[in-house]
């Protein structure tokens, strides 16, 4: 396994791999089982696997959140090696945003302005889109792998990739969860035992909505109420709990087709996001 720090060295490392398929997993490090599940999927489908580790400063709306984000590169590299990664790309900020950098990839419209965009600010998804596009152009993978937990990020990335004509397939893998149902995230390590217990209400709320939809409830307001009741029981007041179209993120009043239920909430100071898709046609 090779570790490279510059785009030039990355391209040199991949020069001999272009004849086969290249899979790419972009991360901000602090690897957990969710990341490893993406790497396993990439390993099964490609000849060469690239993992990026870069804590992207432009997508953080709170300076304290950026400062607190865990940096565990040595451990991440060990996990990457055990997962069969061929190349780790671990640039610093000056490599990704050199002096004079003046270009931003900005996806317009509701998909970047609602939910996370509304609560974290427009600059959040500008930062996400810009860094992902830069990484994709550096790696030039056949397939890039993302987790379903970051559903809105996937919608934004897919739009940017389609609009800019980037020849990479965006593959989405199911959300990886701990035994209590909590979606795996590097932020989970910040939770105290009591906060962890309360945070487990987030996947329970999504499960209650999914179960109600499977039982035939189609009114989005009624479905939201089921989830809000579960969250309230744990003392959690969400920033949002929304039932939206999974492709456009437009609010849905009646769930008569596939829908995305997305939630953001804090357990103590730690902000968590999660989601679930429901589909009346399949009963799931």
Lowest mean pLDDT among 133-137, 144-148, 162-166, 186-190: 186-190
pLDDT at res. 64: 79
Q: What is the pLDDT of residues 1-22, one digit of tens each?
A: 999 999 999 999 999 999 999 9
- Mean local confidence (pLDDT), 53-78: 90
Is 28 labelled a binding residue? yes
Is 173 labelled a binding residue? no
CA distance 173 to 38: 7
Would the pLDDT of 284 be above 90? no
Is 52 labelled a binding residue? no
| CATH class, 2-173 region | alpha beta
CA distance 238 to 26: 28
Name the percent of the chain lying above pLDDT 70.
Answer: 99
Would the pLDDT of 29 be above 80? yes
pLDDT at res. 100: 97
Would the pLDDT of 121 be above 70? yes
Catalytic residue check, 35: yes
Residues 276 and 258: beta-carbon distance below 8 Å: no
Using 50, 70 and 90 to split pLDDT, how confident is the model at 78? very high
Average pLDDT, the chain: 96
Would the pLDDT of 37 be above 70? yes
Using 50, 70 and 90 to split pLDDT, how confident is the model at 69? confident
pLDDT at res. 283: 59
Would the pLDDT of 61 be above 90? no
Is 108 labelled a binding residue? no
- Mean local confidence (pLDDT), 128-143: 98
Considering the candidates 14, 27, 35, 86, report the single residue annotated as catalytic.
35
Give the phi and the psi of residue 120 in degrees, each rounded to 5: -105, -10
Q: What is the pLDDT of residues 186-220, one digit of tens each?
A: 999 899 999 999 999 999 999 999 999 999 999 99
Residues 27 and 153: beta-carbon distance below 8 Å: no
Q: What is the pLDDT of residues 254-276, one digit of tens each?
A: 999 999 999 999 999 999 999 99
Q: What is the CATH number of domain 186-277?
A: 3.30.1300.10
Measure the CA dihedral 28/25/79/60, to 10°: 10
> What ranges do the domains of the chain cover?
2-173, 186-277
Would the pLDDT of 183 be above 70? yes
């Amino acid at each position: 396994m090779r570790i490279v720090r510059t785009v030039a060295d990355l391209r040199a490392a991949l020069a001999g791999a272009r004849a086969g398929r290249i899979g790419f997993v972009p991360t901000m490090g602090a690897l957990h089982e969710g990341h490893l599940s993406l790497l396993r999927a990439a390993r099964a489908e490609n000849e060469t696997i690239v993992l990026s580790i870069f804590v992207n400063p432009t997508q953080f709306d709170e300076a304290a959140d950026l400062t607190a984000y865990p940096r565990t590169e040595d451990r991440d590299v060990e996990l990457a090696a055990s997962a069969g990664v061929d190349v780790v790309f671990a640039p610093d900020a000056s490599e990704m945003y050199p002096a004079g950098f003046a270009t931003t990839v900005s996806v317009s419209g509701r998909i970047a302005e609602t939910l996370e965009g509304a609560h974290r600010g427009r600059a959040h998804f500008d930062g996400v889109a810009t860094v992902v596009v830069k990484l994709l152009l550096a790696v030039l993978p056949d397939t890039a792998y993302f987790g379903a937990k970051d559903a809105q990020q996937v919608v934004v990335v897919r739009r940017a990739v389609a609009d800019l004509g980037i020849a990479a397939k965006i593959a989405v893998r199911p959300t990886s969860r701990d035994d209590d149902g909590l979606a795996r995230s590097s932020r989970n390590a910040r939770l105290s035992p009591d906060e962890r217990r309360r945070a487990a209400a987030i996947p329970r709320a999504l499960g209650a909505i999914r179960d109600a939809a499977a039982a035939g409830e189609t009114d989005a307001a009624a479905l939201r109420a089921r989830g809000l009741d579960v969250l309230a029981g744990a003392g959690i007041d969400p920033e949002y709990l929304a039932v939206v179209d999974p492709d456009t993120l437009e609010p849905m009043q009646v769930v008569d087709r596939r829908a995305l239920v997305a939630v953001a909430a804090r357990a103590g100071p730690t902000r968590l996001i999660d989601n679930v898709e429901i589909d009346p046609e399949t009963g799931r």
